[in-house]
Structure 1
Amino acid sequence: MAVVGRFAPSPTGRMHAGNIYAALLSWLIVRSQKGSIVLRIEDLDRERSRPAYANQIMRDFESLGLTWDRGPFFQHNRDEVYRAALERLSSQARVYPCFCTRADLRAASAPHVGERFVYAGTCRNISPDEAERRSKLHSPSWRICVPDKTYRVNDMIQGTFGQNLATECGDFVLRRADGSFAYQLAVVADDFEQGVTCVVRGCDLLSSTPQQRYLQDLLGFERPSYAHIPLLADSSGRRLSKRNRDASFDELIGRYRTPEGIIGHIAHIAGILKTDEPASPDEVLALFDLDRWRQQLGKRHGLAQLEWCEDPVWKAATATGRSKPTEG
């Protein structure tokens, strides 16, 4: 089967080092398998998403040399696809209304991995009459009943990961109370319709994979392969985000002068390049081997997190007249 990967940025702000790192690794892992790339703009969050950010993200990708083959596809105009998937799921498993507030969920649920909670099933057995009465007061979200079953994934980076949906996740949301479709449902439908066979993303989403496996099986979709890469974090251990202004795209260009300077620095931090010097994505790809990179991560850094750092003596160079990058 031909390998198809994807870029899936959210247009809620300008790109930063964490976004670029994730996109670069996705591009490398897919291109090293002679695969193609789909660009999907994940704008489910319509309050925070902005068309201007989506346009800027695409220009940033192009300037960095991170090319794609199909797209862009946008989630905001795919409600009919998600609605059809929800109807199919409702015919395969029990989907029910949930009236719990966030405070209710925290009070009734048990802590899970990270900041997640295991849903206690509070609304699972309310009667149809009671559900109708509550629906007149406020709109419910919609959850799917999960089986007491462990779903496993053989991840290309993290190895084997398993999760019992009943005890480690609980019934999860497919559609929110505001009418928007949940991430788990949307990405499963999108990956299938867009032919994605290889999903590369941060390891903070590894615990979402068993839920997506469950939905894929109910919908009869082929299962993609997964590669959950270590997160890029600041010196305090917090994941890089738009709050890290020193890692914003504009700051990176100001410091490293060229797109090749940014790519080379990130590839060096990731352990792909031996030296911290400018490199194009194609030059990094020529030195990239997934198995070797994973082994190096395990020995040097670990598979969960990499630290974003600035070298105070790093001197930006131009793309001309420089030596070829060397393998890390």
Structure 2
Amino acid sequence: MTVVTRFAPSPTGYLHVGGARTALYSWLYAKSQGGKFVLRIEDTDIERSTQDAIDAILEGMEWLGLTWDEGPYYQTKRFDRYKDYVAQLLEQGKAYKCYCSRERLDELRESQMANGEKPKYDGKCRHSHEQQEGSYVIRFKNPTEGKVVINDHIRGKIEIANAELDDLIIQRSDGTPTYNFCVVIDDWEMGITHVVRGEDHINNTPRQINILEALGAPVPEYAHVSMILGDDGKKLSKRHGAVGVMQYRDDGFLPQALLNYLVRLGWSHGDQEIFSMDEMLEHFSLDGIGQSASAFNTEKLIWLNQHYIKTMPVAEVAEYAKWHFEQQGIDLSKGPSLEQVINIQADRVKTLKELAEISRYFYEDYNEFDENAAKKHLRPVAQQPLEAVKANLAAISDWNAVNIHAAINATAEQLEVGMGKIGMPLRVAATGSGNSPSLDVTLELLSFEQVAQRIDKALKYISNRANS
């Protein structure tokens, strides 16, 4: 048997982290078993489904690298298929037309709730074969005896008595099929062998299994994943920070870090925390997913992101970082290679967004000095050290970190002062702030002409300060 899994989001909003984790688990299982992964857009809720949401889902999946082997399929383009199967069930006596009015159903529900009963359709039209005037829905004739048994990969054995279920509407009065029916037909026709989805679908599963069996279709295996909670124990939402996958891209996270974090949000392999994609594929199993809800911890995600920024091949980090520099209007053609900048900045940042923010001075002159740094280090006492170090830097014939370091050291010896008296004014002059990597490697990525111009800018600042 070839394993076939699917991810089937409803396009009513962005791809959230819960959906992304479900997609990851589904994708990993298919790929680890040498199977296929199908993407299906469940857009039967026509009023709430939008093209923007579809685009956001596709963009999120592509950014995460969760490529699909088939699809994307759209349920709204398959309505004729669903209607054929509804007609088949009607013909076989496994479905029926229900003419009950909205008013009658509302009264029935209110009466049942008042009597402490579980609200469900009472089957009034189930045994009536007479054609009536007016609109109708079509209901599936659910078995009234026996039970549905689900051997869930995560939750174990789940049993639901058929007497607990009512006759599900499978086609609305306007002729459109309902979600639960579309899912059944799609899973069957697309050959889905394993359904990985959120625990909120557990109530749908016995209904879907009964329809599959009525059609003579094979029943897939199921794995219902627990929800993700915020760190306060409540359901994850916007108040906990970013919940849409592309917001994490915008905030400067690497997809590799987010995938590593999501895979561990409910699944484990010993005490291992860091997983490459190859390691995920090697070790992942549906039976290794825990039943308990998982709490989202942004601090841990940040820690993982730092790890990946520091340890991933620099060229790969640069591919993702480039977008952030462009977003901030930084022209990468006017300075060192992005790989060179990442090499000296990676240890100093938590996100790619932050990397771009603190690296602007490599590509363009700053407009003004950081106020606190200038106040502290660009004082009249710094004038002589800056003039001397500028002269020594000008004497370098081969502009590299070793020679720059030697020139700064020589200046300190020449003036008989500590390195800090040279280094800090020079750092503020060269970068506009008091924070940067080691001065020798920082200046190496700038040209001498840039450094000299910025030293002159600092000297002018000092002069203006002394005369004010």
TM-score range, shorter chain: 0.7 to 0.9
The 8 Å contact of residues 184 and 211 in structure 2, kept in 1 or not, is answered as yes
C-alpha spacing 1:235/1:266, structure 2 compared with 1 (3 Å): same
Q: Residue 44 of structure 1 aligns with which residue?
A: 44
The 8 Å contact of residues 82 and 186 in structure 1, kept in 2 or not, is answered as yes
Are 1:224 and 2:224 an aligned pair?
A: no
Work out the CA distance in 2 between the residues paired with 1:4 and 1:56.
24
User: Could you say what secondary structure the match of 1:71 adopts?
Assistant: strand
Cα distance, 1:269 vs. partner? Answer: 2.4
Are 1:311 and 2:338 an aligned pair?
A: no
Q: Residue 158 of structure 1 aligns with which residue?
A: 155
Identity fraction in percent: 33
How high is the TM-score relative to the length of structure 2?
0.59
User: Could you say what secondary structure the match of 2:202 adopts?
Assistant: helix
Work out the CA distance in 1 between the residues paired with 2:233 and 2:123.
34
Among residues 206, 211, 235, which one is paired with 1:210 in the alignment?
206
User: Could you say what secondary structure the match of 1:317 adopts?
Assistant: helix
C-alpha spacing 1:181/1:237, structure 2 compared with 1 (3 Å): farther
User: Could you say what secondary structure the match of 2:299 adopts?
Assistant: coil
AA in 2 matched with 1:80: D
Work out the CA distance in 1 between the residues paired with 2:215 and 2:50.
31
Q: How do 1:26-37 residues align onto structure 2 when only pairs under 5 Å count?
A: 26-37=26-37
Question: What whole-Å deviation, never above 9, does each CA across 1:209-250 have from its counterpart, x for those lacking one?
Answer: 221121111111112111111122335655446787631224
Cα distance, 1:110 vs. partner? Answer: 5.8
Among residues 282, 287, 290, which one is paired with 2:286 in the alignment?
290
Work out the CA distance in 1 between the residues paired with 2:18 and 2:31.
20
User: Could you say what secondary structure the match of 1:216 adopts?
Assistant: helix
The 8 Å contact of residues 110 and 119 in structure 1, kept in 2 or not, is answered as no
Q: Residue 322 of structure 1 aligns with which residue?
A: 311
Are 1:182 and 2:178 an aligned pair?
A: yes
Q: How do 1:246-261 residues align onto structure 2 when only pairs under 5 Å count?
A: 246-255=242-251, 257-261=253-257
Q: Residue 99 of structure 1 aligns with which residue?
A: 100
C-alpha spacing 1:237/1:164, structure 2 compared with 1 (3 Å): farther
AA in 2 matched with 1:40: R
C-alpha spacing 1:202/1:266, structure 2 compared with 1 (3 Å): same
C-alpha spacing 1:105/1:231, structure 2 compared with 1 (3 Å): farther
Unmatched 5+ residue regions in structure 2?
A: 313-468
C-alpha spacing 1:51/1:31, structure 2 compared with 1 (3 Å): same
Q: How do 1:128-207 residues align onto structure 2 when only pairs under 5 Å count?
A: 128=130, 131-132=132-133, 135=134, 139-147=135-143, 148-165=145-162, 167-207=163-203
How high is the TM-score relative to the length of structure 1?
0.81
Q: Residue 71 of structure 2 aligns with which residue?
A: 71
Work out the CA distance in 2 between the residues paired with 1:117 and 1:240.
29
The 8 Å contact of residues 7 and 23 in structure 2, kept in 1 or not, is answered as yes
Work out the CA distance in 2 between the residues paired with 1:313 and 1:10.
26
Deviates more, 1:73-82 or 1:174-183: 174-183
**RMSD of the TM alignment (CA)?**
2.9
AA in 2 matched with 1:97: C
C-alpha spacing 1:32/1:149, structure 2 compared with 1 (3 Å): same
Write 1 or 2 for the structure with the bigger share of helix.
2
Ranked by relative contact order (alpha carbons within 8 Å, sequence separation 6 or more), the top structure is 1
AA in 1 matched with 2:230: D
C-alpha spacing 1:30/1:312, structure 2 compared with 1 (3 Å): closer
Q: How many residues were matched structurally? A: 304
Q: Residue 391 of structure 2 aligns with which residue?
A: none
Rg larger in structure: 2
Work out the CA distance in 2 between the residues paired with 1:12 and 1:263.
23
The 8 Å contact of residues 13 and 242 in structure 1, kept in 2 or not, is answered as no
AA in 2 matched with 1:188: V
